[in-house]
């Protein structure tokens, strides 16, 4: 399967040139860009690891692309996403977030159904990769 979190997951993987254009768009808007990675892509795992703080002071797409490539080199078999933060009053949140790296194999998720009275079912979603191995060894 292909995890389709993020703004552009239904498109073919973005090239570095396409990524740079998105970075430029975000920087031109005054947003700060952060890089985050994980090997636990559960839909409600909000807090991926930060590859450093959001880069409030780097205003050049090339500088940020270099950081992305450093992250890719370190965590080649992880999910990596680029996240843009807008500090405008009454937004103050993420305004763009897209995946720039993913593991070669994506085994996906198992839906666990726990049956309860009255035909009600409790659902939980478990990642096959997370179930199989501890953090850091899941997608090797």
Partner 1 sequence: MNALAKDVVKESATEIKSSAKRYKAGVLKYAQMGYWQPDYVPKPTDIVALFRITPQEGVDAKEAAAAVAGESSTATWTVVWTDRLTACDMYRAKAYRVDPVPNSPGQYFAYIAYDLSLFEEGSITNVTASIIGNVFSFKPLKAARLEDMQFPVAYVKTFRGPPTGIIVERERLDKFGRPLLGATTKPKLGLSGRNYGRVVYEGLKGGLDFMKDDENINSQPFMHWRDRYLYVMDAVNKASAATGEVKGSYLNVTAGDMEEMYRRAAFAKELGSVIVMVDLVVGYTGIQSLSNWCRANDMILHLHRAGHGTYTRQKNHGVSFRVIAKWMRMIGVDHIHAGTAVGKLEGDPPTVQGYYNVCRDTHTKVDLLRGNFFEQDWGALRKVMPVASGGIHAGQMHQLLDLFGDDVVLQFGGGTIGHPQGIQAGATANRVALEAMVLARNEGRDIANEGLDILKGAAKSCTPLQAALDTWGEITFNYTSTDTSDFVPTPTASV
Interface residues toward partner 1, by CB under 8 A: 1, 3-5, 7-12, 14, 18, 21-22, 25, 41-44, 46, 83-84, 89-98, 108-111, 119-123, 125
Q: Which is nearer to partner 1, 15 or 57 (CB)?
A: 15
Q: Which is nearer to partner 1, 67 or 86 (CB)?
A: 86
Q: Which is nearer to partner 1, 44 or 104 (CB)?
A: 44
Please tell me the distance from the alpha carbon of residue 12 to that of residue 62, in angstroms, as a whole number.
22
Q: Measured from the CB of residue 129, what is the shortest distance to partner 1 in angstroms? A: 11
CA distances from 36 to 4, 6, 13, 41, 121 (A): 16, 12, 17, 12, 34
Q: Which of 84, 101, 80 is closest to 93 using CA atoms? A: 84
Q: Measured from the CB of residue 124, what is the shortest distance to partner 1 in angstroms? A: 9
Q: Measured from the CB of residue 93, what is the shortest distance to partner 1 in angstroms? A: 5
Q: Measured from the CB of residue 75, what is the shortest distance to partner 1 in angstroms? A: 18
Beta strands in 1-140 (DSSP E): 32-38, 49-50, 79-86, 93-101, 109-115, 121-127
């Amino acid at each position: 399967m292909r995890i389709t979190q993020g703004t552009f997951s239904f498109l073919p993987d973005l090239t570095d040139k396409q990524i740079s254009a998105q970075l430029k768009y975000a920087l031109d808007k005054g947003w700060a860009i952060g890089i985050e990675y994980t090997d636990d892509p559960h839909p409600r795992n909000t807090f991926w690891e930060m590859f450093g703080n959001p880069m409030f002071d780097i205003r050049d797409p090339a500088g940020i692309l270099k950081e992305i490539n450093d992250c890719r080199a370190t965590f080649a078999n992880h999910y990596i996403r680029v996240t843009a933060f807008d500090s405008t009053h009454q937004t103050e949140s993420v305004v763009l977030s897209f995946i720039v790296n993913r593991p070669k194999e994506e085994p996906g998720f198992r839906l666990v159904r726990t049956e309860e009275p009255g035909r009600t079912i409790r659902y939980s979603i478990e990642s096959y990769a997370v179930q199989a191995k501890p953090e850091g060894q899941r997608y090797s």
